[in-house]
Chains A and B, each alone.
Chain A
Amino acid sequence: MSRTADPAAAVMDLPRRDAPDKLAGRTRYTVDMAGPGTLHAAIRRADIPRGRIIRVESGVARQMPGVRAIVTAQDAPGTHGIGISDHPLFAGKEIRYNGEPIAAVAADTLEQARAAAAAIIVEVEALPPVLTMAEALSPSAPLVHEGWKDYGVLFEGGARKGNIAWEAKVVRGDTDAAFARPDVTIVEGCYEVGRQSHMPFEPRAAIATFEDGRLHLVTSTQVPWTVRAVTSSLLGIPSSQVRITVPPVGAGFGLKFDCTIEPVAALLAWKTGRRVSLANSRQEEMATCLCRENAQIRIRSAVTTEGEIVGREATVLMDCGAYGGEQIFLTTMTAHTLGSNYRLGSVRLSTRAIYTNTPPNGAFRACNGVYNTFALERHTDEICAAIGMDPVEFRRRAVFRDGSIGSTGQVFEGEVLVPMIERMEALKQKSGSREAEAGGRLYGRATTVGSWFVFVGPSAATVNLNADGSATLVTSGVEIGSGTMVQALPQIVAGQLGIRPQDVVVKAADTDAAGYDVGVGGGRTTVSLGAASVKACEDVLSKLLPVAAEMLQTSQDNLVLGKGRIEIAGRKGSGATIASVAQRAQALHGPVTGSGSFTGQGVPSMAGCAMGHFINAIDIPIFAVHDCEVAVDPDTGHVEILSYKVVQDVGRALNPRAIHGQIQGGVVQGLGYALHEDVTIDAKGRIAQDSFETYRIPLAQDVVPVEFELFEGAPSIGPLGVKGAGEVPILNVGAAVACAVANATGKPVSRLPLTPPRVLGLLVSDEPPLDHPHIGKDWSSNVIALPQSVRAG
């Protein structure tokens, strides 16, 4: 049916229904659910970065007090992965990173499990590790995966070779010709970022039981269906035999796309026949965190004096650590994070996921976008300096307009970025400058743009309209803290059905009850689950409205829904309550239920532009403009944020207050990334920062209130015109801070984070500009092989 509810009916500042319990400590997260009688598990991990396992002997450990079971690679010999199936649950023959699981123990108490795990005898032959991407790319480097050629390929199209786990390329137009033009200035820069650790307050944790012969996992995850699939495949049981339920998640930020805890808990539950709880200690959580990857970037651009970018070439190296994981998929993102914001006459991009003997990396809020935006915006400011153009003016001229073409040939619709820049200029004007607060310190300011997108993907929803006039929404969505499940979704359903959002019951994810879903992240929840919910509501209405029309003796077209009633348009007080119509419908035809599903339609791109990409074009682009003022202490290198401003493209703001929360939280996480959060790999291949003491996330005194404006009305295929709002706030924070610090200091800022020692280092030394010798200046030296057609062109 075609009937659409007024989207405005879904817009409100609905309070979170989970707040009172969360504020009172009553909410039970996975880590709170072990309870008495549950076995506790501990993992024995490798303490070298690379080596051959000669012997794992668990006989003595098995005899220790309280020990119920020990599992090793022999119990789960399979592998999993994204794109490439390269990742075993336990190291069997080879150790590929420090911290890699070798065995796991279940015992009556956690102390006993840990003691036994420590007592397992692991004999290894240490081998020289590959700890950096530069080492990994050197011709003489040992292979992190000697058998890389034999791995199962789960997604075709990526070039691979040795330590290059995956390579994605974009080639559009003739960059050689562009760089050869006599009227262009050529600007080149290298950039580098470290890892970022998510630090969710709840670590990865799961509780496994076998119930009536089926595995039930209660887990802190963002991707219940992935956990279902991976666990069943590693255990060798049908996925229909696995049930995943997800209590409120103590934050995810992308880390909980992981699926390395659940299969271990499941194996131990299977071996013992008991309920088994496995949760990472904070040190384990940080030492094996699937961080936002460290990356190295080289960008080269040919620009006219008028600010037209006629050619751009870039190579991005992403460290995937010991296993490909998300990075293989994320190589796709560069096409959009480096290629969907400025108009490019011609472009060549190469993105390589590199294996190293370090803990695997993963997904983190605005994956890949955060550092590519940093590199791109620093590069853009370097272009502005080289051609002598004001940075805001340059961006006005060079960013996407209605009909601009992305790197893969996708056409972008609507005037979005230019009016957003104007909104930011107006906001800056209105709020004035904080320069006076810099005192004797160096003052700097920068405005940056960025582009992100929603990865849409499939979702399913069921809506039951109950006879009491309430509705129950059943999906595989997970509440990870962003509020989607307690605000946006009930608002959408309520708006569609004309009932109060309080009367929409939202069922927590349970793969036994709800249909397939890709998972919560990438800003897709409101969009995909929302769209599926809208369709389910339409299904409900298609059953409800005929009954109402008959009850009210009018045609369906005359009916309007609102405030729990179905009325005849223009006649207030006419009609009946939705509850009474639902009762009538139930009596006539049975309970009213609706189901809906959704997936991205796919957007056309130019044939042949993109190679090794999981998606060639993006369904919903999202743009952001950020502005930042800083004061830099010339004596200590401390950077203070004086002001921070955001203009964010949200499509339609369903719950402006909740979006404010996401913007403030996301920007602050970005400030951590830009200024404080440093992850380094030590000589033993370990993440050196494995505690709150050493990994510094921002505290209250380090942050400022973010001024923001929501830009509404840009085109979106999302339900009611929404776009995801939770992921993008972090996107250009690193960029804005770095550009502001460069502006303040006059120094080439090429690395993040800008910790005080790094900034002071910049100020006191005359380091040459950053260079990555292992990324060739000639772009084609950074690709494995180009198809004949492209080489010829």
Chain B
Amino acid sequence: MTEANSGSDVLRPITIAGALDALGGGRQIMAGATWLMRAPVRGEAPPKAAVLIGSIPELQQISIGQDQVTLGAGVTHTKLAEALAGVPALKGLVTAASRAANPPIRAVATLGGNLCTAAFAAGDLSPQLLALDARVTYATKDGTQDMDMSQFLAARGNLSGGLLTRVRIPLGNFRSAHARLPLRKAGDYPVAIVSARMDQNESLMRRVRIAVGSVEATPRRWSGLEAALEGQPYDLKAIADSAGSLTNEFTGRDGVEADGWYRTKVLPALVRQVFEDLSMQFAERP
């Protein structure tokens, strides 16, 4: 195992294999540290042992291919937004990464950290990646596992001893959008999130994916609304009405910042916002 700096409690491996070896002994993965270092504010003990993964080049990689984008788990929100700014299909992901938190946090908080924090219900990236049909790669000493986002989100609370290494997003003839609702203009966690993607199609809505975040403890797809919209003509009012009649698919979580009813009540407005954005993106297309 190679270490950039060693101390028995805190290790800084430079390869994925090294990171996997380093796990154990109470050490947990530490990426941007913006979640872990807030432990005292949550009434938990501050971290004393960690495997820092910031020096692993492989986790920083971003590759934009013809039909797929691959993002290393160590990519920060800022880097992600910069790198994908030129990929029209992923505008929703760029929005998610560039509106979450605040600028200095975005500069250090990582994709992997955002996805792996099971206790964090309001993450922006996971609903967007759900809508984008992204797949994640999770590495353990026993090998790597490839999962779709739903599988990953269901499993993430129980995963341990491994490392999220990358996220792959299929590209295609579609557009994506992301609507988030903080209580102030910005700077706080969104109380509800709607992410969506839809194929470019002359007349009808095709391959509609809608995911909802922050409303329940874990983000998930809004399958009822997806089914209701699939193959329908684009009509903003009808879309919002469908959303309005299907919000009972979700049970909003009560939190200090907002009660559950509010989180579901605002969903139609967020749906309207993402579909407005999608239609504008389609209109812009050359």
Residues of chain A touching chain B, judged by Cβ–Cβ distance below 8 Å, are: 282-283, 633, 635-638, 676, 680, 688-689, 691, 693-694, 696, 698-699, 701-702, 755-757, 760-761, 764
Find out whether the CB atom of B258 lies under 8 angstroms from the CB atom of A757: yes
Find out whether the CB atom of A636 lies under 8 angstroms from the CB atom of B184: no
Find out whether the CB atom of A694 lies under 8 angstroms from the CB atom of B257: yes
Give chain A residues whose Cβ lies under 8 Å from the Cβ of B266.
Answer: 635-636, 760
Q: Is B183 an interface residue (CB 8 A)?
A: yes
Give chain B residues whose Cβ lies under 8 Å from the Cβ of A756.
Answer: 183, 258, 262
Find out whether the CB atom of B183 lies under 8 angstroms from the CB atom of A696: yes
Residues of chain B touching chain A, judged by Cβ–Cβ distance below 8 Å, are: 41, 181, 183-189, 256-259, 262, 265-266, 268-269, 272
Given A635, A680, A698, which contacts B184 in the complex, CB threshold below 8 Å?
Answer: A698
Give chain B residues whose Cβ lies under 8 Å from the Cβ of A637.
Answer: 262
Give chain B residues whose Cβ lies under 8 Å from the Cβ of A680.
Answer: 256
A528 CB, nearest partner CB in chain B, Å: 38
Find out whether the CB atom of A757 lies under 8 angstroms from the CB atom of B262: yes
Find out whether the CB atom of A757 lies under 8 angstroms from the CB atom of B259: yes
Find out whether the CB atom of B265 lies under 8 angstroms from the CB atom of A701: no
Q: Which of A691, A701, A756, A760 has the most chain B CB atoms inside 10 A of its CB?
A: A756
Give chain B residues whose Cβ lies under 8 Å from the Cβ of A701.
Answer: 184-187
A697 (CB) vs chain B CBs: closest residue: B184
Find out whether the CB atom of A699 lies under 8 angstroms from the CB atom of B41: no
Give chain A residues whose Cβ lies under 8 Å from the Cβ of B272.
Answer: 635
B46 (CB) vs chain A CBs: closest residue: A111
Task: Decide yes or no: A676 and B257 within 8 Å by CB, A691-B41, A756-B262 being known contacts.
Answer: no
Find out whether the CB atom of A676 lies under 8 angstroms from the CB atom of B183: yes
A114 (CB) vs chain B CBs: closest residue: B40
Find out whether the CB atom of B258 lies under 8 angstroms from the CB atom of A694: no
A111 (CB) vs chain B CBs: closest residue: B46
Compute how far the CA of A283 lies from the CA of B262 in the bound complex, rounded to whole angstroms: 27
Find out whether the CB atom of B256 lies under 8 angstroms from the CB atom of A636: no
Q: Which of B181, B184, B259, B269 has the most chain A CB atoms inside 10 A of its CB?
A: B184
Task: Decide yes or no: A689 and B256 within 8 Å by CB, A636-B269, A756-B262 being known contacts.
Answer: yes
Compute how far the CA of A283 lies from the CA of B39 in the bound complex, rounded to whole angstroms: 13
Find out whether the CB atom of A696 lies under 8 angstroms from the CB atom of B258: no
- Could you give 16 example pairs across A and B, Cβ below 8 Å? A633-B269, A636-B181, A638-B183, A676-B183, A680-B256, A693-B41, A694-B256, A694-B257, A696-B188, A696-B257, A699-B184, A699-B186, A701-B186, A702-B185, A756-B258, A760-B265
A325 CB, nearest partner CB in chain B, Å: 26
Q: Give 10 nearest A-B pairs by CB, closest first.
A: A635-B269, A701-B185, A757-B262, A694-B256, A699-B187, A636-B266, A688-B256, A757-B258, A702-B184, A702-B185
Given B41, B185, B257, B258, which contacts A283 in the complex, CB threshold below 8 Å?
Answer: B41
Compute how far the CA of A676 lies from the CA of B262 in the bound complex, rounded to whole angstroms: 16
Compute how far the CA of A702 lies from the CA of B266 in the bound complex, rounded to whole angstroms: 20
Other A-B pairs, 6, CB within 8 Å; known A283-B41, A635-B269, A696-B183: A676-B184, A688-B256, A701-B184, A701-B186, A702-B184, A756-B258
Give chain A residues whose Cβ lies under 8 Å from the Cβ of B183.
Answer: 638, 676, 696, 755-756
Find out whether the CB atom of A693 lies under 8 angstroms from the CB atom of B189: yes
Find out whether the CB atom of B188 lies under 8 angstroms from the CB atom of A764: no
B184 (CB) vs chain A CBs: closest residue: A702
Give chain B residues whose Cβ lies under 8 Å from the Cβ of A699.
Answer: 184-187
Compute how far the CA of A689 lies from the CA of B265 in the bound complex, rounded to whole angstroms: 23
B41 (CB) vs chain A CBs: closest residue: A691
Find out whether the CB atom of A696 lies under 8 angstroms from the CB atom of B269: no
Compute how far the CA of A698 lies from the CA of B186 in the bound complex, rounded to whole angstroms: 10
Q: Which of A636, A691, A694 has the most chain B CB atoms inside 10 A of its CB?
A: A636
Compute how far the CA of A484 lies from the CA of B21 in the bound complex, rounded to whole angstroms: 61
Compute how far the CA of A282 lies from the CA of B38 in the bound complex, rounded to whole angstroms: 13
A248 CB, nearest partner CB in chain B, Å: 26
Compute how far the CA of A680 lies from the CA of B257 in the bound complex, rounded to whole angstroms: 10
A47 CB, nearest partner CB in chain B, Å: 11
Give chain A residues whose Cβ lies under 8 Å from the Cβ of B188.
Answer: 693, 696
Give chain A residues whose Cβ lies under 8 Å from the Cβ of B258.
Answer: 756-757
Give chain B residues whose Cβ lies under 8 Å from the Cβ of A691.
Answer: 41
A678 CB, nearest partner CB in chain B, Å: 8
B187 (CB) vs chain A CBs: closest residue: A699
B92 CB, nearest partner CB in chain A, Å: 20
B269 CB, nearest partner CB in chain A, Å: 3
Compute how far the CA of A282 lies from the CA of B257 in the bound complex, rounded to whole angstroms: 19
Compute how far the CA of A223 lies from the CA of B232 in the bound complex, rounded to whole angstroms: 69
Give chain B residues whose Cβ lies under 8 Å from the Cβ of A283.
Answer: 41
Give chain B residues whose Cβ lies under 8 Å from the Cβ of A693.
Answer: 41, 188-189
Give chain A residues whose Cβ lies under 8 Å from the Cβ of B268.
Answer: 635
Compute how far the CA of A627 lies from the CA of B164 in the bound complex, rounded to whole angstroms: 54
Give chain A residues whose Cβ lies under 8 Å from the Cβ of B189.
Answer: 693
Give chain B residues whose Cβ lies under 8 Å from the Cβ of A676.
Answer: 183-184
Compute how far the CA of A696 lies from the CA of B183 in the bound complex, rounded to whole angstroms: 9
Compute how far the CA of A698 lies from the CA of B188 in the bound complex, rounded to whole angstroms: 11
B181 CB, nearest partner CB in chain A, Å: 6
Task: Decide yes or no: A760 and B256 within 8 Å by CB, A283-B41, A676-B183, A699-B184 being known contacts.
Answer: no
Compute how far the CA of A8 lies from the CA of B268 in the bound complex, rounded to whole angstroms: 60
A757 (CB) vs chain B CBs: closest residue: B262
Give chain A residues whose Cβ lies under 8 Å from the Cβ of B265.
Answer: 760, 764
B241 CB, nearest partner CB in chain A, Å: 13
Compute how far the CA of A755 lies from the CA of B186 in the bound complex, rounded to whole angstroms: 14
B192 (CB) vs chain A CBs: closest residue: A636
A691 (CB) vs chain B CBs: closest residue: B41
Compute how far the CA of A203 lies from the CA of B186 in the bound complex, rounded to whole angstroms: 25
Compute how far the CA of A637 lies from the CA of B184 in the bound complex, rounded to whole angstroms: 11
B238 CB, nearest partner CB in chain A, Å: 16
B42 (CB) vs chain A CBs: closest residue: A691
A118 CB, nearest partner CB in chain B, Å: 11
